[in-house]
Structure 1
Amino acid sequence: MIYAILMAGGRGTRLKVPCEKPLFRLHDKPLIKYVIDNVNQSKFIDELIIAVSPNTPETTEYLNSTDGDFRILDTSGEDYLTDLSYILDYFEKKSKDDVLLFINADLPFISTQTIDYVLDYYLNSDKDALSTLVPVEIFEKLGLDYSYEFDGYVPSGLNVLRSINIVQDEDQLVIPKDELALNINTIPDSEVAEKLYNEYYV
Protein backbone atom coordinates (compact mmCIF):
# COMPACT_ATOMS: atom_id res chain seq x y z
CA MET A 1 0.00 0.00 0.00
CA ILE A 2 1.06 3.57 -0.66
CA TYR A 3 -0.22 6.08 1.89
CA ALA A 4 -0.02 9.86 1.71
CA ILE A 5 0.47 11.28 5.19
CA LEU A 6 -0.62 14.91 5.32
CA MET A 7 1.04 16.59 8.32
CA ALA A 8 -1.46 19.04 9.81
CA GLY A 9 -0.69 19.06 13.53
CA GLY A 10 2.02 21.69 13.89
CA ARG A 11 1.66 24.95 15.80
CA GLY A 12 2.41 27.18 12.81
CA THR A 13 3.68 29.99 15.04
CA ARG A 14 5.60 31.84 12.32
CA LEU A 15 2.46 32.68 10.36
CA LYS A 16 1.15 34.91 13.18
CA VAL A 17 -2.54 34.79 12.24
CA PRO A 18 -5.56 34.06 14.47
CA CYS A 19 -6.40 30.78 12.70
CA GLU A 20 -4.61 27.44 12.54
CA LYS A 21 -2.16 27.28 9.64
CA PRO A 22 -3.91 24.45 7.71
CA LEU A 23 -7.04 26.64 7.67
CA PHE A 24 -5.26 29.81 6.55
CA ARG A 25 -7.00 30.92 3.39
CA LEU A 26 -5.18 31.40 0.13
CA HIS A 27 -7.50 32.93 -2.44
CA ASP A 28 -10.40 32.19 -0.08
CA LYS A 29 -9.65 28.46 0.29
CA PRO A 30 -7.88 26.69 3.20
CA LEU A 31 -4.30 25.64 2.50
CA ILE A 32 -5.03 22.07 3.49
CA LYS A 33 -7.86 21.75 0.94
CA TYR A 34 -5.47 22.41 -1.95
CA VAL A 35 -3.20 19.61 -0.79
CA ILE A 36 -6.06 17.18 -0.18
CA ASP A 37 -7.47 17.77 -3.67
CA ASN A 38 -4.13 17.32 -5.41
CA VAL A 39 -3.12 14.26 -3.40
CA ASN A 40 -6.46 12.56 -4.07
CA GLN A 41 -5.85 12.74 -7.83
CA SER A 42 -2.59 10.76 -7.60
CA LYS A 43 -2.48 7.53 -9.60
CA PHE A 44 -0.18 5.92 -7.04
CA ILE A 45 -1.69 6.75 -3.65
CA ASP A 46 -4.06 4.19 -2.15
CA GLU A 47 -5.17 6.18 0.90
CA LEU A 48 -4.79 9.65 2.36
CA ILE A 49 -4.16 9.94 6.10
CA ILE A 50 -4.30 13.38 7.73
CA ALA A 51 -2.25 13.69 10.93
CA VAL A 52 -3.76 16.22 13.33
CA SER A 53 -2.98 17.07 16.96
CA PRO A 54 -4.22 19.04 19.98
CA ASN A 55 -2.60 22.06 18.29
CA THR A 56 -5.14 21.94 15.46
CA PRO A 57 -8.63 21.24 16.89
CA GLU A 58 -10.31 23.57 14.39
CA THR A 59 -8.60 21.77 11.53
CA THR A 60 -9.92 18.47 12.87
CA GLU A 61 -13.40 19.98 13.12
CA TYR A 62 -13.15 21.31 9.56
CA LEU A 63 -12.04 17.91 8.24
CA ASN A 64 -14.85 16.15 10.06
CA SER A 65 -17.35 18.57 8.51
CA THR A 66 -16.27 17.73 4.95
CA ASP A 67 -17.13 14.71 2.88
CA GLY A 68 -13.49 14.08 2.05
CA ASP A 69 -11.86 10.83 1.00
CA PHE A 70 -9.34 10.52 3.85
CA ARG A 71 -8.79 9.17 7.35
CA ILE A 72 -7.75 11.24 10.38
CA LEU A 73 -4.88 10.15 12.66
CA ASP A 74 -4.34 11.85 16.04
CA THR A 75 -0.76 12.66 17.06
CA SER A 76 0.74 14.49 20.02
CA GLY A 77 1.77 17.59 18.07
CA GLU A 78 4.83 17.86 20.30
CA ASP A 79 7.14 18.37 17.31
CA TYR A 80 7.62 17.04 13.80
CA LEU A 81 10.09 14.28 14.67
CA THR A 82 8.00 12.99 17.57
CA ASP A 83 4.91 12.82 15.37
CA LEU A 84 6.91 11.21 12.55
CA SER A 85 8.17 8.50 14.92
CA TYR A 86 4.64 7.87 16.20
CA ILE A 87 3.28 7.55 12.65
CA LEU A 88 6.04 5.16 11.62
CA ASP A 89 5.33 3.02 14.70
CA TYR A 90 1.62 3.06 13.88
CA PHE A 91 2.15 1.80 10.34
CA GLU A 92 4.96 -0.60 11.19
CA LYS A 93 2.55 -2.53 13.44
CA LYS A 94 0.36 -3.11 10.39
CA SER A 95 3.08 -3.82 7.81
CA LYS A 96 6.76 -3.16 7.23
CA ASP A 97 6.28 -3.04 3.48
CA ASP A 98 4.07 0.00 3.02
CA VAL A 99 5.24 3.24 1.42
CA LEU A 100 4.53 6.50 3.26
CA LEU A 101 4.60 9.81 1.38
CA PHE A 102 4.85 12.62 3.94
CA ILE A 103 3.63 16.01 2.79
CA ASN A 104 3.14 19.25 4.68
CA ALA A 105 -0.26 20.94 4.80
CA ASP A 106 1.26 24.31 3.86
CA LEU A 107 2.15 23.42 0.24
CA PRO A 108 -0.94 24.64 -1.66
CA PHE A 109 0.70 24.55 -5.09
CA ILE A 110 2.04 21.01 -4.88
CA SER A 111 0.73 19.38 -8.05
CA THR A 112 -0.51 15.86 -8.59
CA GLN A 113 2.06 15.62 -11.38
CA THR A 114 4.92 16.35 -8.96
CA ILE A 115 3.55 13.95 -6.34
CA ASP A 116 3.41 11.17 -8.92
CA TYR A 117 6.86 12.06 -10.27
CA VAL A 118 8.34 11.73 -6.77
CA LEU A 119 6.58 8.42 -6.10
CA ASP A 120 7.59 7.01 -9.49
CA TYR A 121 11.21 7.98 -8.81
CA TYR A 122 11.05 6.38 -5.36
CA LEU A 123 9.50 3.14 -6.60
CA ASN A 124 12.36 2.80 -9.09
CA SER A 125 15.00 3.55 -6.46
CA ASP A 126 16.84 0.94 -4.41
CA LYS A 127 16.71 3.06 -1.23
CA ASP A 128 14.15 2.86 1.57
CA ALA A 129 13.77 6.62 1.91
CA LEU A 130 13.68 9.65 -0.35
CA SER A 131 13.91 13.34 0.48
CA THR A 132 13.15 16.07 -2.03
CA LEU A 133 15.12 19.30 -2.16
CA VAL A 134 14.68 22.66 -3.85
CA PRO A 135 17.64 24.77 -5.03
CA VAL A 136 18.18 27.97 -3.02
CA GLU A 137 18.00 29.89 -6.30
CA ILE A 138 14.26 29.16 -6.54
CA PHE A 139 13.66 30.85 -3.17
CA GLU A 140 15.84 33.80 -4.13
CA LYS A 141 14.01 34.22 -7.45
CA LEU A 142 10.65 34.31 -5.68
CA GLY A 143 11.86 36.50 -2.82
CA LEU A 144 11.11 33.83 -0.22
CA ASP A 145 12.96 33.21 3.04
CA TYR A 146 13.97 29.70 4.12
CA SER A 147 14.94 28.40 7.53
CA TYR A 148 17.54 25.80 6.52
CA GLU A 149 19.74 24.96 3.58
CA PHE A 150 22.55 22.50 2.97
CA ASP A 151 24.99 22.82 0.08
CA GLY A 152 22.59 25.18 -1.71
CA TYR A 153 19.45 23.08 -1.30
CA VAL A 154 16.37 23.49 0.92
CA PRO A 155 14.18 20.60 2.14
CA SER A 156 10.78 20.79 0.46
CA GLY A 157 8.44 19.16 2.98
CA LEU A 158 7.80 16.19 0.67
CA ASN A 159 9.49 12.93 1.70
CA VAL A 160 9.00 9.20 1.29
CA LEU A 161 9.75 6.49 3.87
CA ARG A 162 9.18 2.80 4.28
CA SER A 163 6.79 1.90 7.13
CA ILE A 164 9.54 1.01 9.59
CA ASN A 165 10.69 3.19 12.47
CA ILE A 166 14.44 2.99 11.95
CA VAL A 167 17.02 5.21 10.30
CA GLN A 168 16.56 4.46 6.61
CA ASP A 169 19.03 4.58 3.76
CA GLU A 170 18.04 7.72 1.86
CA ASP A 171 18.17 8.93 -1.69
CA GLN A 172 17.82 12.63 -2.53
CA LEU A 173 15.91 14.16 -5.41
CA VAL A 174 16.41 17.79 -6.43
CA ILE A 175 13.28 19.35 -7.95
CA PRO A 176 13.75 22.95 -9.16
CA LYS A 177 10.05 23.85 -9.08
CA ASP A 178 8.45 26.97 -7.61
CA GLU A 179 5.53 24.94 -6.25
CA LEU A 180 7.78 23.17 -3.73
CA ALA A 181 9.26 26.43 -2.46
CA LEU A 182 5.86 27.97 -1.79
CA ASN A 183 5.22 26.59 1.67
CA ILE A 184 3.22 29.20 3.54
CA ASN A 185 5.06 29.93 6.79
CA THR A 186 4.71 33.72 6.93
CA ILE A 187 2.45 36.49 5.65
CA PRO A 188 5.09 37.52 3.06
CA ASP A 189 5.01 33.90 1.80
CA SER A 190 1.23 34.15 1.39
CA GLU A 191 1.56 37.43 -0.48
CA VAL A 192 3.94 35.83 -2.99
CA ALA A 193 1.55 32.88 -3.30
CA GLU A 194 -1.40 35.16 -4.00
CA LYS A 195 0.53 36.81 -6.84
CA LEU A 196 1.32 33.42 -8.38
CA TYR A 197 -2.11 31.88 -7.81
CA ASN A 198 -3.34 32.32 -11.39
CA GLU A 199 -0.36 30.38 -12.73
CA TYR A 200 -1.56 27.27 -10.91
CA TYR A 201 -5.32 27.41 -10.51
CA VAL A 202 -6.84 29.47 -13.32
Structure 2
Amino acid sequence: MCGGRGTRLGAPVEKPLVEVCGRPMLDHVVEALQQSRVETIYAVTSPHTPETRTRASNLELHCIDAPGDGYVSDLGYALDRVLRPVVTVVADLPLLLPDHVDAVVEAAEGGSLTVCVPVARKRSLGSSVDESLVFDYRGTPVCPAGLGVVGADSAQPDESATEHTDEATSEHTDDSDTDSTVYLTTDSRLALNVNRPTDIELAEGGCE
Protein backbone atom coordinates (compact mmCIF):
# COMPACT_ATOMS: atom_id res chain seq x y z
CA MET A 1 0.00 0.00 0.00
CA CYS A 2 1.73 3.14 -1.18
CA GLY A 3 -0.88 5.70 -2.16
CA GLY A 4 -1.19 7.87 0.94
CA ARG A 5 -0.40 11.56 1.15
CA GLY A 6 2.03 11.26 4.08
CA THR A 7 1.36 14.81 5.24
CA ARG A 8 2.58 14.19 8.80
CA LEU A 9 6.04 13.33 7.54
CA GLY A 10 6.47 16.66 5.78
CA ALA A 11 9.04 15.23 3.35
CA PRO A 12 10.02 16.86 0.05
CA VAL A 13 9.23 13.60 -1.76
CA GLU A 14 6.27 11.22 -1.69
CA LYS A 15 6.23 9.20 1.52
CA PRO A 16 7.12 5.78 0.01
CA LEU A 17 10.15 7.40 -1.62
CA VAL A 18 11.57 8.83 1.62
CA GLU A 19 15.01 7.32 2.02
CA VAL A 20 16.04 5.20 4.97
CA CYS A 21 19.66 4.06 4.96
CA GLY A 22 20.14 5.40 1.45
CA ARG A 23 17.16 3.69 -0.19
CA PRO A 24 13.47 4.54 -0.58
CA MET A 25 11.24 2.87 1.99
CA LEU A 26 9.35 1.26 -0.88
CA ASP A 27 12.51 -0.54 -1.96
CA HIS A 28 13.08 -1.97 1.51
CA VAL A 29 9.54 -3.35 1.69
CA VAL A 30 9.68 -4.76 -1.83
CA GLU A 31 12.96 -6.52 -1.11
CA ALA A 32 11.49 -8.17 1.98
CA LEU A 33 8.47 -9.35 -0.01
CA GLN A 34 10.64 -10.63 -2.87
CA GLN A 35 12.66 -12.75 -0.45
CA SER A 36 9.54 -14.11 1.26
CA ARG A 37 7.11 -16.79 0.12
CA VAL A 38 4.88 -14.17 -1.51
CA GLU A 39 4.53 -14.97 -5.21
CA THR A 40 3.26 -11.74 -6.80
CA ILE A 41 3.74 -8.18 -5.58
CA TYR A 42 1.27 -5.40 -6.31
CA ALA A 43 1.94 -1.72 -5.63
CA VAL A 44 -1.31 0.05 -4.78
CA THR A 45 -0.70 3.67 -5.75
CA SER A 46 -3.00 6.64 -6.19
CA PRO A 47 -3.14 10.10 -7.82
CA HIS A 48 -1.28 11.34 -4.72
CA THR A 49 1.80 9.22 -5.51
CA PRO A 50 2.65 9.42 -9.23
CA GLU A 51 6.41 9.24 -8.64
CA THR A 52 5.92 6.19 -6.46
CA ARG A 53 4.07 4.53 -9.31
CA THR A 54 7.00 5.24 -11.59
CA ARG A 55 9.39 3.73 -9.06
CA ALA A 56 7.15 0.68 -8.65
CA SER A 57 7.10 0.18 -12.41
CA ASN A 58 10.89 0.42 -12.50
CA LEU A 59 10.98 -2.31 -9.86
CA GLU A 60 8.80 -4.39 -12.21
CA LEU A 61 5.86 -4.52 -9.80
CA HIS A 62 2.25 -4.93 -10.86
CA CYS A 63 0.56 -1.58 -10.21
CA ILE A 64 -3.02 -1.01 -9.10
CA ASP A 65 -4.11 2.60 -9.51
CA ALA A 66 -6.52 3.20 -6.63
CA PRO A 67 -8.67 6.37 -6.40
CA GLY A 68 -6.76 7.78 -3.41
CA ASP A 69 -9.80 8.09 -1.16
CA GLY A 70 -8.02 6.80 1.94
CA TYR A 71 -6.29 3.64 3.12
CA VAL A 72 -9.38 1.56 3.80
CA SER A 73 -11.09 2.57 0.57
CA ASP A 74 -7.98 1.99 -1.54
CA LEU A 75 -7.34 -1.36 0.12
CA GLY A 76 -10.87 -2.46 -0.70
CA TYR A 77 -10.40 -1.30 -4.27
CA ALA A 78 -7.22 -3.36 -4.57
CA LEU A 79 -8.68 -6.46 -2.92
CA ASP A 80 -11.43 -6.51 -5.52
CA ARG A 81 -8.74 -6.94 -8.18
CA VAL A 82 -6.53 -9.69 -6.77
CA LEU A 83 -6.92 -13.30 -5.69
CA ARG A 84 -7.04 -14.05 -1.97
CA PRO A 85 -5.56 -14.80 0.46
CA VAL A 86 -3.27 -11.81 0.11
CA VAL A 87 -0.57 -10.24 2.27
CA THR A 88 -1.05 -6.53 2.88
CA VAL A 89 1.76 -4.24 3.96
CA VAL A 90 2.24 -0.49 4.14
CA ALA A 91 5.20 1.23 2.53
CA ASP A 92 6.27 2.96 5.76
CA LEU A 93 7.59 -0.24 7.37
CA PRO A 94 11.21 -0.09 6.15
CA LEU A 95 12.63 -2.57 8.67
CA LEU A 96 10.35 -5.37 7.49
CA LEU A 97 12.10 -8.72 7.01
CA PRO A 98 11.17 -11.74 4.86
CA ASP A 99 10.87 -13.78 8.06
CA HIS A 100 8.17 -11.43 9.33
CA VAL A 101 6.10 -11.97 6.19
CA ASP A 102 6.54 -15.74 6.20
CA ALA A 103 5.67 -16.04 9.89
CA VAL A 104 2.43 -14.12 9.45
CA VAL A 105 1.45 -16.10 6.35
CA GLU A 106 2.04 -19.36 8.21
CA ALA A 107 0.10 -18.19 11.27
CA ALA A 108 -2.85 -17.05 9.16
CA GLU A 109 -3.33 -20.55 7.69
CA GLY A 110 -5.25 -19.11 4.77
CA GLY A 111 -7.45 -16.93 6.95
CA SER A 112 -7.24 -13.27 7.94
CA LEU A 113 -4.67 -11.92 10.36
CA THR A 114 -3.73 -8.45 11.60
CA VAL A 115 -0.30 -7.79 13.09
CA CYS A 116 -0.50 -5.48 16.11
CA VAL A 117 2.06 -3.98 18.48
CA PRO A 118 1.39 -2.90 22.08
CA VAL A 119 1.35 0.89 22.31
CA ALA A 120 3.69 0.67 25.30
CA ARG A 121 6.26 -1.07 23.12
CA LYS A 122 6.13 1.63 20.46
CA ARG A 123 6.49 4.36 23.05
CA SER A 124 9.41 2.60 24.74
CA LEU A 125 11.23 2.68 21.40
CA GLY A 126 10.33 6.33 20.79
CA SER A 127 8.21 5.43 17.77
CA SER A 128 5.30 7.72 16.95
CA VAL A 129 1.79 6.45 17.71
CA ASP A 130 -1.28 7.20 15.62
CA GLU A 131 -3.87 7.52 18.38
CA SER A 132 -6.71 7.17 15.88
CA LEU A 133 -5.66 3.56 15.24
CA VAL A 134 -5.24 2.47 18.87
CA PHE A 135 -7.73 -0.07 20.21
CA ASP A 136 -8.02 -2.26 23.27
CA TYR A 137 -7.07 -5.89 22.84
CA ARG A 138 -7.56 -8.09 25.91
CA GLY A 139 -6.95 -5.11 28.18
CA THR A 140 -3.87 -3.89 26.32
CA PRO A 141 -3.82 -0.81 24.05
CA VAL A 142 -2.44 -1.95 20.70
CA CYS A 143 -1.89 -0.46 17.28
CA PRO A 144 -1.82 -2.18 13.85
CA ALA A 145 1.68 -2.53 12.44
CA GLY A 146 0.56 -2.28 8.83
CA LEU A 147 1.21 -5.94 8.02
CA GLY A 148 -1.49 -8.55 7.70
CA VAL A 149 -3.23 -11.21 5.68
CA VAL A 150 -6.69 -10.96 4.15
CA GLY A 151 -8.21 -14.41 3.79
CA ALA A 152 -10.35 -15.77 1.02
CA ASP A 153 -13.52 -15.21 3.04
CA SER A 154 -12.73 -12.01 4.92
CA ALA A 155 -16.38 -10.89 4.78
CA GLN A 156 -17.25 -13.75 7.13
CA PRO A 157 -14.92 -13.42 10.17
CA ASP A 158 -14.00 -16.66 11.89
CA GLU A 159 -15.55 -16.49 15.35
CA SER A 160 -13.24 -19.20 16.60
CA ALA A 161 -10.10 -17.30 15.65
CA THR A 162 -7.07 -17.76 17.83
CA GLU A 163 -4.48 -15.28 18.99
CA HIS A 164 -1.00 -15.72 17.55
CA THR A 165 2.06 -14.42 19.33
CA ASP A 166 5.65 -14.16 18.16
CA GLU A 167 8.76 -15.27 20.05
CA ALA A 168 8.84 -12.01 21.97
CA THR A 169 5.58 -12.85 23.71
CA SER A 170 4.86 -15.77 25.97
CA GLU A 171 1.18 -16.62 25.81
CA HIS A 172 -0.92 -18.36 23.18
CA THR A 173 -4.56 -18.21 24.17
CA ASP A 174 -7.98 -18.72 22.67
CA ASP A 175 -9.47 -15.56 21.22
CA SER A 176 -13.05 -16.68 20.68
CA ASP A 177 -14.42 -13.37 22.00
CA THR A 178 -13.20 -11.37 18.99
CA ASP A 179 -14.27 -11.33 15.37
CA SER A 180 -10.78 -11.10 13.90
CA THR A 181 -7.42 -12.70 14.44
CA VAL A 182 -4.66 -10.66 16.04
CA TYR A 183 -0.98 -11.50 15.73
CA LEU A 184 0.54 -9.68 18.69
CA THR A 185 4.23 -8.83 18.50
CA THR A 186 6.77 -6.72 20.34
CA ASP A 187 9.35 -6.98 17.54
CA SER A 188 10.99 -3.57 17.30
CA ARG A 189 11.17 -3.77 13.50
CA LEU A 190 7.42 -4.11 13.23
CA ALA A 191 6.86 -1.45 15.88
CA LEU A 192 8.39 1.28 13.75
CA ASN A 193 6.21 2.92 11.12
CA VAL A 194 7.80 6.02 9.61
CA ASN A 195 5.06 8.61 10.02
CA ARG A 196 7.00 11.54 11.46
CA PRO A 197 10.52 12.97 10.99
CA THR A 198 11.70 11.48 14.30
CA ASP A 199 10.79 8.01 13.02
CA ILE A 200 13.30 8.33 10.17
CA GLU A 201 16.18 8.63 12.63
CA LEU A 202 14.91 5.60 14.57
CA ALA A 203 14.65 3.57 11.38
CA GLU A 204 18.17 4.55 10.36
CA GLY A 205 19.39 3.10 13.64
CA GLY A 206 17.72 -0.22 12.89
CA CYS A 207 19.24 -0.80 9.46
CA GLU A 208 21.55 -3.78 9.07
Map of 2:76 onto structure 1: 85
Q: Equivalent residue of 2:3, what SS? A: coil
Once the two structures are superposed, what CA deviation does each residue of 1:135-157 show, in whole Å capped at 9, x if it has no partner?
12221221122013223211110
Match of 1:40 among 34, 43, 48: 34
Q: Give the gaps of 5 or more residues in structure 1.
A: 1-6
Q: 1:195 Cα deviation (Å)?
A: 2.2
- The code of the aligned residue for 2:78 comes to I
1:121 aligns with 2:107: yes
Q: 1:167 Cα deviation (Å)?
A: 5.5
Q: Equivalent residue of 2:28, what SS? A: helix
- Report the TM-score, using the length of structure 1 for normalisation: 0.83
Quote the Cα distance in structure 1 between the aligned partners of 2:17 and 2:190: 19
Map of 2:50 onto structure 1: 57
Match of 1:173 among 183, 189, 199: 183
Quote the Cα distance in structure 1 between the aligned partners of 2:186 and 2:85: 24
Quote the Cα distance in structure 2 between the aligned partners of 1:159 and 1:50: 15
1:138 aligns with 2:121: yes
Once the two structures are superposed, what CA deviation does each residue of 1:110-158 show, in whole Å capped at 9, x if it has no partner?
11111100000001x7xx3211111122212211220132232111101
Q: 1:51 to 1:164 in 2, by over 3 A?
A: farther
Work out whether residues 121 and 186 of structure 2, in 8 Å CA contact, stay in contact via their aligned partners in 1: yes
Quote the Cα distance in structure 2 between the aligned partners of 1:18 and 1:167: 42
Map of 1:4 onto structure 2: none
Once the two structures are superposed, what CA deviation does each residue of 1:74-97 show, in whole Å capped at 9, x if it has no partner?
111110111122122223xxx5xx
Q: Which has the higher contact order (CA 8 A, sep 6+)?
A: 1
1:75 aligns with 2:71: no
Q: Percent identity?
A: 33
Quote the Cα distance in structure 2 between the aligned partners of 1:12 and 1:77: 12
Q: Give 4+ residue runs of structure 1 displaced > 4 Å after superposition.
A: none
Quote the Cα distance in structure 1 between the aligned partners of 2:156 and 2:74: 15
Q: 1:37 to 1:30 in 2, by over 3 A?
A: same
1:158 aligns with 2:158: no
Q: Equivalent residue of 1:178, what SS? A: coil
- The code of the aligned residue for 1:120 comes to E
Quote the Cα distance in structure 2 between the aligned partners of 1:23 and 1:36: 12
1:188 aligns with 2:188: no
Q: What is the Cα-based RMSD across aligned positions, in Å?
A: 1.7
Higher helix share: 1
Q: 1:143 to 1:103 in 2, by over 3 A?
A: same
Q: Give the gaps of 5 or more residues in structure 2.
A: 159-179
Q: Equivalent residue of 2:72, what SS? A: helix
Quote the Cα distance in structure 1 between the aligned partners of 2:143 and 2:43: 24
- Report the TM-score, using the length of structure 2 for normalisation: 0.81
Higher strand share: 1
